[in-house]
Chain A
Amino acid sequence: MKYVDEFRDPELGRVLAGEIVNLVEPGRHYKLMEVCGGHTHSIYKFGIDDLLPENVELVHGPGCPVCVIPMGRVDDGIALAHEPGVIFTCFGDMMRIPGSDGSLLDAKAEGADIRMVYSPLDSLRIAKENPDRQVVFFAIGFETTAPSTALTLKRARMEGVHNFSCMSNHVTIVPPLRALLDSPDMRLDGFVGPGHVSTVVGAQPFEFIPAEYEKPIVVAGFEPLDVLQAVEMILRQLAEGRCEVENQYKRVVPYEGNPRALEVLAEVFELRPHFEWRGLGFISQSGLKISEAYADFDAERRFSVPGVRVADPKACQCGEVLKGVIKPFECKVFGTACTPERPIGTCMVSSEGACAAYYNYGRFAREREVV
């Protein structure tokens, strides 16, 4: 199939892997972060890690929107779902994220009307079909997903669907990257930049990384050759003493992003002063709340939301995994107390989560290495 086959060509992959070997300095350790959970998934699925020299290490970033949801927001969502007359809607992965006293799936089993949707538009449709009920959409995601929520709210207003509201947990990608770069326990040599977030925001917002932190970043697609080429481009920058924003994914990502999407985001959302991230704590101006102009559709204003704050479970090391400080298998509970069937931490829930991806694709290789 075109589009896919071209970017999975094993021969080209071997050529790129050879170029990567030629670019690395023996004795130097390279630590590159793939920001996006989609890249983490590709790396494990296609065994890209195994094509790299031993001194090139890929570490996972905070780019899985499910993984970064703190427990308190899950508890708030569950409280909302238990409100009389509410139909609570969310994406599938969100249902299994553990709160402090169970997940949304547990709340559903207890009788709350919680429904999985594939798009906020599905949620709006449910609201239209149930005019005597209040329908809440639990919105998560980076700038890739936020435009869909924004358009849905605009549509709700246009069509006068007043029994629809949204609890926004949308986050933005730049503040956590800055927080990681400021973190004293992080030593990174470069970034594989998020592909589809960048279709919306463009490559331009990442200019601060070379300008202020002197690190290269290459925005990349998700096919195996995309990721390999991005690694090659980062290593080439390092070898040539350059640090800049480069765009490997030019076939999809314009430098300036999608102006219409950015306009809609600015109309419907505004930045929260602070937002809590699982494992990373509170990060300034990293979350999106619904703007005053759309306050009527803000579930946090329509209902009384407890605003719960809960510390992450002690055994869980999702924070360190999200920061790339440890690998999933180095977590104390990985694969034992914490599995995709019974997750303790968020990283084990979503298929984009580093732990789930590693559990599904990489743990057998690791077991063989250990043996």
Chain B
Amino acid sequence: MRVDAQQGMLCETDHESGHCITCSDEAIPLRVLRVDDERGLALCEDASGEHTTIEVALIGPVAPGDGLLAHAGTAIAPLPRSEVTA
């Protein structure tokens, strides 16, 4: 039986996805909006439209529209564009 508890998660870093993005093994898919090559940073957007700045040094050059998987402010893997289209 699947029961959906109404009280939600109690983790302070809990977001819409219901996961704790900072403490778990689970990263989040984001779409690149703008790239700052000089500083190795990219402005990204999550599925809910929230913007965040991500360190992209570990996944090579990225361009607006690219997908990436980020954890604790750092991109750890590229994603196919189709996987982050809202």
Contact = CB atoms under 8 A, between A and B. Distances in A.
Q: Do A and B come from one complex?
A: yes
Interface string A55-91: 0000000011110000000000000000000000001
Q: Dominant SS at the B interface?
A: loop
Contact of A91 (B7, B13, B79): B13
B1 to A, nearest CB: 5
Contacts of A116: 12-13
B84 interface: yes
B63 interface: no
Given A2-B86, A195-B26, A351 B14 contact: yes
A365 B1 contact: yes
A155 B40 CA distance: 10
Chain A's interface size range is: 35 or more
Given A118-B72, A151-B58, A361-B3, 14 more contacts: A36-B24, A93-B22, A118-B22, A119-B22, A121-B55, A148-B72, A195-B25, A199-B69, A251-B80, A350-B11, A351-B23, A360-B5, A360-B9, A360-B10
Interface of A: 1-4, 36-38, 41, 45-47, 50, 63-66, 91-95, 116-122, 140-142, 144-145, 147-149, 151, 155, 194-197, 199-200, 222, 251-254, 258, 260-261, 264, 340-341, 350-352, 356, 360-362, 364-365, 368
Interface of B: 1-5, 7-14, 18-27, 29, 47, 55, 57-60, 69, 71-74, 76-77, 79-80, 82-86
22 contacts: A2-B82, A3-B47, A3-B84, A3-B85, A41-B24, A93-B12, A93-B20, A116-B12, A118-B22, A118-B73, A120-B73, A148-B71, A151-B58, A251-B79, A251-B83, A252-B77, A260-B60, A351-B11, A351-B18, A360-B9, A361-B4, A364-B3
